Structure 1
Amino acid sequence: MIACDDLIALVRAYNPKTNAKLISAAYDYGRAAHEGQFRQSGEPYFTHPVAVAAILTQQKLDDATIITALLHDTIEDTKASYGEVAETFGREIADLVDGVTKLTKLQLSSTETQQAENFRKLLMAMSKDLRVILVKLADRLHNMRTIRAMKHEKQVQKARETMDIFAPLAGRMGMQWMREELEDLAFKVLNPEGRQSILRRFVTLQSDSGDVIERITSDMRTELAQAGVEAEVFGRAKKPYSIWRKMQEKGVGFSRLSDIYGFRIITRSDDACYRALGAIHRRWRAVPGRFKDYISQPKSNGYRSIHTTVSGRDGKRVEVQIRTQQMHDVAEAGVAAHWSYRDGVRSENPFAVDPAKWLAGLTEQFTSEEDHEDFLEAVKLEMYTDKVFCFTPKGEVVKLPRGATPIDFAYAIHTRIGNACVGAKIDGMRVPLWTRIKNGQSVEITTAEGQTPQATWLEIAATGKAKTAIRRALREVDRERFIKLGWELARSAFEHVGRKATDKALDAAAKQLRLPDRDEVLARLGSAEMSAREVVKAIYPDLVPPDGDTVAWERAVIGLAAGQSFERATCCQPLPGERIVGITWRGRGVVVHAIDCERLADFEDQPDRWVDLHWHAGKHKAVYPVTLDITMGNDAGVLGRICTLIGEQKANISDLRFVDRKPDFYRVSVDLELRDAEHLHTVVSALEAETDVASVERRRNASADHTAGAETRREAVGL
């Protein structure tokens, strides 16, 4: 544990005017409050708050934040009270400690509706004082660094929460170093084999080609010196998770991935940044489409830098970031730079954004979202995506997420413009509405009276604002049709559990789901925004067993070792009655695949991981999800008859999604819960016999994965 004097020395190194007595008093207060408490590792609990405080000193934060870190668990986990902390250390620190306590109580690993509500609460807590989230992020970072002391189930829960919420939040706030470390620590828990594989490849690469980083760094220093640019050059290999994510996005192996190294050039002035860029581009060939100038167009969190990718030695691509020292300070601290110190005084970095304005801009984007799901989508889009900057015909700048289309641009201008959009021009040339906008392009939208949003726009749009507006417009246009379809889905689902979908039952479901009335429930069912299972569960939770009925599930498969857990592969969705085989995963048990699954080819050279399995011969319940793609005629009542037909075969529809809508046909993707392969055959045969059904195909996704970031779930044995 870091001693009090050592912690004060860390603060004094960047803030000689620090209130050492107050920090020392907080240290003693926290240690006394946590006396007798221990962490899972067996260490005294107070080692954790001290470590959190030390992490915050790396960001050169003020005394109040450091003291909050030392006390952040006292109100929640000890006899200390808000009043006592306020009396001893002042109201500012007491409010910060109380804010961290409230954040800690948020259960962020939950259903999407609850998660959206927690995001709202998270933003509300941040809005009072952003330092609260800085302490919470440092708290999560230290917990992830010491996560091995937890039980495996808890490790997985915390790692997913970190990957989904805290890592992207750190990145959105501009603290990229923290985002990368949080992602890598979570990756180490969620996919240890994948991470180790990448690390082994790095070792092999280094032994084959030598120290590439040192050679390229030396070459860059030489080029900059010859160009008369005074600068420092740093190089590093990218984090394992960053490498893994690129491999997944591009669908290539490690050997085919080129840009695995990153270099940073720190100059003395803005002008030197551009001269350094010229020197780099003269020496190495620039990769088209990989240049971004965040100096002339800064990010909303104050981030400024020039990004470029060039082809280095042996044709290998490397990423280069060029910035000044002041820009670098903001890039490291992000929004936290507002509170940081430099050379003993509060930093007056011209690039540091006002946290209040930044947060106001962030929350303003989400206040218009009325629907929980839409709000959550908007939050994730805002935190996960980079920005592109484009222009209106009048030269006004519009910020959009990477991958945005003219549809997103139109809705960013005004909802009325988006709803009436019929075409677009980019840089004066007419383009399809699905065209991806690039940095610096000028976009012009063409509108027409009477135009209404199309369902296909949902697949084209990339922003939460556009998707929300499109859904709202579609709900109004198709509301009556969706209500009728929703009624058929609800009736079938309620009959499946021995109940009737009466008006009274649907009113009760609307109340439980916090929707205005039963028509809204039915409309959302019909538009596939809500599953029938959710509606039934809202009023009859006892009739819908939760996922993970492990006792019944463990009896379903024979051939496992004692105590060995397993999951059903999402790529091939094996059913009882089909030949199966298992693939072992460290820390995760066995993943069960159909014997003809294409994914099994990935494990041909690992025979020790294969497990011979077969289904239990007994009768299974209709709980195994299978996805069918159905093409049917676009006539009145067809979809209702299909849903009824499926229900008559004792199969439950858990979800239904429109894949394509044409004037003459529908194509829908239906998730069914079936007993076995014979049950599937019965359902498919009944559907194929229907005159309005053109085709029925079972969907199997060979690209579905079971590594970190891919959703896997233990299938329930129940409804």
Structure 2
Amino acid sequence: MLTRELSSYLDTNRINQVRRAYYFAEQAHEGQMRKSGDRYISHPLAVARILAEMRLDHQSLMAAMLHDVIEDTGIPKDALADQFGEDVAELVDGVSKLTQIEFRTRAEAQAENFQKMTLAMARDIRVILVKLADRLHNMRTLGPMPYEKRKRIATETLDIYAPIANRLGMHSISTELEDLGFSTMYPMRSKFISKAVTKLRGSHREIIDEIRGRLHEKLEERGMPGRILGREKHLNSIYNKMKFKQKSFREIMDVYAFRIITDNEDDCYRILGAVHSLYKPMPGRFKDYIAMPKVNGYQSLHTTLFGMHVNIEVQIRTEEMENIANNGIAAHWLYKNEPSNGTSVNQARVDRWVKGLMEMRERADDSLEFIESVKEDLFPDEIYVFTPRGKIMELPGGATPVDFAYAIHTDIGNATVACRINRNLGSLSQPLQSGQTVEIITAPGARPNSAWLNFVVTGKARGSIRHVVKSDKHAESLELGHTLLKRSLKGFNTRLGDITEAQKQRVVAHNQVNSFEDLISEIGLGNRMAFLVARQLVVGAPEAEGDAPAASAIEESGRQGPVTICGSDGLLLKFASCCKPIPGDPIVGIMDSGNGMLIHSDTCSHLPDDEQGRAMLTDLKWAKDITDQFSVELRVEMERQRGIIAEMANAVAMADGNIERINVEDQNARFGVVSLVVHVTGRHHLARVMRRVRNIRAVTHISRVRY
């Protein structure tokens, strides 16, 4: 049966090579059985048959036959290379490496496997095609497995394998994996929906046949070639529409779907005109995926018509588009020896996606962060926007100008400061709409803002921003750690330059870190105490990090003159929201483990009041000529008068202040209390603002608020 399938597109020599791989695998798996009781060789044979239906090349089919040989029989990769060539051995090895291994958590195992999958895809995309066929046959034969294992495999299939198949344009495999995963996870729901679909289809057969007949007549009347197929709705798709779009079963099933397959692109557009003359098109429901293909290479014309009191969905495409829609990247091997724009473009799209995965993988700190980023890219609801030069960019739905900037190039994303949408200045956080023209404005030396992580949707943007923020945080923690360590060493009358390399390495080994730089970074992050590290460097006493040091020791080596800080809030230098210190206020710093230093006013009620706690504070002083602005909250008591809020705002503006927020907190017939948050540069500026507000006749009292 498989030979008959292969003979339709492979020559005799290649079929014989596939047959030889089958005999080799049969011998290697001799005596091995599946859970179902079938001989094990039935599984590789079924996987090869799935790939043959997609008309994959002979090497992929050989790898399908042999894909479990390395893992299950102990035959080494070199032996396969000698027998079947290096390419086939690499494919088999790539598939074998995607098998489950032991990790601390199931999520970590899944994430690590996905990293491996990405590397394998980058070397040869056929590895994932064999793996998808392997997963499809396993899903078809899950029955004999224990319930917990069935559920785990189904979850992984729905989370990873079905979306990857969809991303590679392999619609037929993607939908079958989704339906099999759904019926495994929710057997009762699947059975109920399946019965309801069968029943409804029977009662609607007359309408379906009539619509198909009228479409067929219209094509014949205009002399246009085309075969008309009914389009089945898949169980998982129906369930998701009911669950997430809050639609009833009848609403979903009252849409009749047809696919018209024709010879060439011109015929597609002519047929579109014909069906629009037969039934009225619904406004806003036409999509041209031929001119602007989906991100996975899918091409087709979509239109929704209103006729016979029902909605009719029609997809119009060529035979080649139909094959690419069902088999995606797998269609590349069928057409690769023929001139075909569609498949070469499809291959380029997949190559671009895999390259993007590799970039994300390099920037991610661990496999869990990587898979989190990739999952966002596996569920794209595409939009199409234009660069100023007219190039079309495909982005997932909800993408922002920042996502657009990173899609162009990582360096452009990192240097983004503003954007223009349709030639008008726009917000970096606003979701883009299809058809907009987006221009990114960059500035040399600009850096990504960590707040962008709250609105970007693409994995590439998220990974790139995190990467830059982490490197900035590392640089800042080194700077702060150096400052604190130097200050602590002063208490021992020692400079950092006087410490020998041997002393540094001894302390590095004692603290179990990789390098002295990492130790300094840990001090800046607040994970280690500067005075303890200074003591270890000078005295050499191996104090445990968990030992509670005497207050006198801290006082001796920790309070040696204040550290100067600039006004800017940073990643590791933050101003406390309780007391909102501003230049001119006496300030102290307290280390917050993992987050750097938190700066408080010296009189803040949230600071520790015991002797040991106070001793662990770092004395700070403001740098001169600070021009940054700081938020201060004022409480203003006043008599109620018409226009008083406007008068107050004008007074703040006259004192060169800027109002961030104004709120009327409490009022009666005569008096009111207003909370005013203003931006000032320091205490002198604050005094000027308060004096201006106090001079308003209706104001009875003004005070600075600290929590």
TM-score range, shorter chain: 0.5 to 0.7
Q: Is 1:181 the equivalent of 2:179?
A: no
Match of 2:392 among 381, 391, 397: 397
For residues 518-570 of structure 1, give each alpha carbon's deviation from its aligned partner in whole angstroms, at most 9, with x where no partner exists.
Answer: 95899799xxxxxxxxxxxxxxxxxxxxxxxxxxxxxxxxxxxxxxxxxxxxx
1:191 aligns with 186
Q: Is 1:352 the equivalent of 2:343?
A: yes
Q: TM-score, normalised by structure 1?
A: 0.62
Judging changes above 3 Å, is the alpha-carbon distance between structure 1 residues 26 and 115 closer, same or farther for their aligned structure 2 residues? closer
**Counterpart Cα distance in 2 of 1:157 and 1:353:** 36
**Counterpart Cα distance in 2 of 1:138 and 1:519:** 48
Residue 104 of structure 1, CA deviation = 2.7
1:364 aligns with 355
1:337 aligns with 331
Residue 406 of structure 1, CA deviation = 2.3
**Counterpart Cα distance in 1 of 2:9 and 2:177:** 25
Counterpart secondary structure, 2:32 = coil
**Counterpart Cα distance in 2 of 1:416 and 1:348:** 36
Larger radius of gyration: 2
**Counterpart Cα distance in 2 of 1:103 and 1:119:** 8
**Counterpart Cα distance in 2 of 1:138 and 1:70:** 11
1:698-709 correspondence to structure 2 within 5 Å: none
Match of 1:48 among 43, 46, 51: 43
**Counterpart Cα distance in 2 of 1:132 and 1:450:** 42
Judging changes above 3 Å, is the alpha-carbon distance between structure 1 residues 430 and 191 closer, same or farther for their aligned structure 2 residues? farther
Judging changes above 3 Å, is the alpha-carbon distance between structure 1 residues 523 and 251 closer, same or farther for their aligned structure 2 residues? farther
Match of 1:238 among 224, 227, 233: 233
Residue 199 of structure 1, CA deviation = 1.9
Counterpart secondary structure, 2:272 = helix
Residue 40 of structure 1, CA deviation = 0.5
Judging changes above 3 Å, is the alpha-carbon distance between structure 1 residues 208 and 151 closer, same or farther for their aligned structure 2 residues? same
Indicate conservation of the 8 Å contact 2:296/2:349, yes or no.
Answer: yes
Residue 59 of structure 1, CA deviation = 0.8
For residues 208-254 of structure 1, give each alpha carbon's deviation from its aligned partner in whole angstroms, at most 9, with x where no partner exists.
Answer: 54454433333322333344422111112210101112223313332
Indicate conservation of the 8 Å contact 2:296/2:350, yes or no.
Answer: no
**Counterpart Cα distance in 1 of 2:130 and 2:54:** 11
Judging changes above 3 Å, is the alpha-carbon distance between structure 1 residues 245 and 33 closer, same or farther for their aligned structure 2 residues? same
Indicate conservation of the 8 Å contact 1:60/1:340, yes or no.
Answer: yes
Judging changes above 3 Å, is the alpha-carbon distance between structure 1 residues 425 and 289 closer, same or farther for their aligned structure 2 residues? farther
Judging changes above 3 Å, is the alpha-carbon distance between structure 1 residues 59 and 108 closer, same or farther for their aligned structure 2 residues? farther
1:627 aligns with none
Indicate conservation of the 8 Å contact 2:422/2:438, yes or no.
Answer: yes
**Counterpart Cα distance in 2 of 1:69 and 1:365:** 27
Counterpart secondary structure, 1:303 = coil
1:382 aligns with 377
Residue 129 of structure 1, CA deviation = 2.4
Indicate conservation of the 8 Å contact 1:11/1:18, yes or no.
Answer: no
2:55 aligns with 60
Structure 1: any 5+ residue segments left out of the alignment? 1-5, 484-502, 526-631, 646-661, 666-719
Residue 12 of structure 1, CA deviation = 0.8
1:320-331 correspondence to structure 2 within 5 Å: 320-331=314-325
Match of 2:251 among 251, 256, 267: 256
Counterpart secondary structure, 2:404 = helix
1:151 aligns with 146
Higher relative contact order (CA 8 A, sep 6+): 1
Residue 421 of structure 1, CA deviation = 5.3
Residue 635 of structure 1, CA deviation = 5.2
**Counterpart Cα distance in 1 of 2:399 and 2:108:** 26
1:607 aligns with none
2:459 aligns with 464
- One-letter amino acid of the counterpart of residue 392, structure 1: T
- One-letter amino acid of the counterpart of residue 364, structure 1: K
For residues 253-312 of structure 1, give each alpha carbon's deviation from its aligned partner in whole angstroms, at most 9, with x where no partner exists.
Answer: 323336755322111111111112222333334444443323223345543222333345
Counterpart secondary structure, 1:440 = coil
**Counterpart Cα distance in 1 of 2:57 and 2:10:** 8
Give the length in aligned residue pairs.
Answer: 515
Indicate conservation of the 8 Å contact 1:266/1:322, yes or no.
Answer: yes
Counterpart secondary structure, 1:297 = coil
Match of 1:7 among 2, 6, 17: 2
Indicate conservation of the 8 Å contact 2:28/2:69, yes or no.
Answer: yes
Judging changes above 3 Å, is the alpha-carbon distance between structure 1 residues 633 and 294 closer, same or farther for their aligned structure 2 residues? farther
**Counterpart Cα distance in 1 of 2:35 and 2:476:** 56
Single out whichever of 127-136 and 439-448 deviates more from structure 2.
Answer: 439-448
Indicate conservation of the 8 Å contact 2:119/2:358, yes or no.
Answer: no
Match of 1:306 among 293, 296, 301: 301
Counterpart secondary structure, 1:353 = helix
Residue 146 of structure 1, CA deviation = 0.4
- One-letter amino acid of the counterpart of residue 278, structure 2: R
Counterpart secondary structure, 2:344 = coil
**Counterpart Cα distance in 2 of 1:75 and 1:217:** 51
Indicate conservation of the 8 Å contact 1:127/1:359, yes or no.
Answer: no
Q: TM-score, normalised by structure 2?
A: 0.63
1:78 aligns with 73
Indicate conservation of the 8 Å contact 1:108/1:161, yes or no.
Answer: no
Q: Once superposed, what is the RMSD of the aligned Cα atoms? A: 4.2
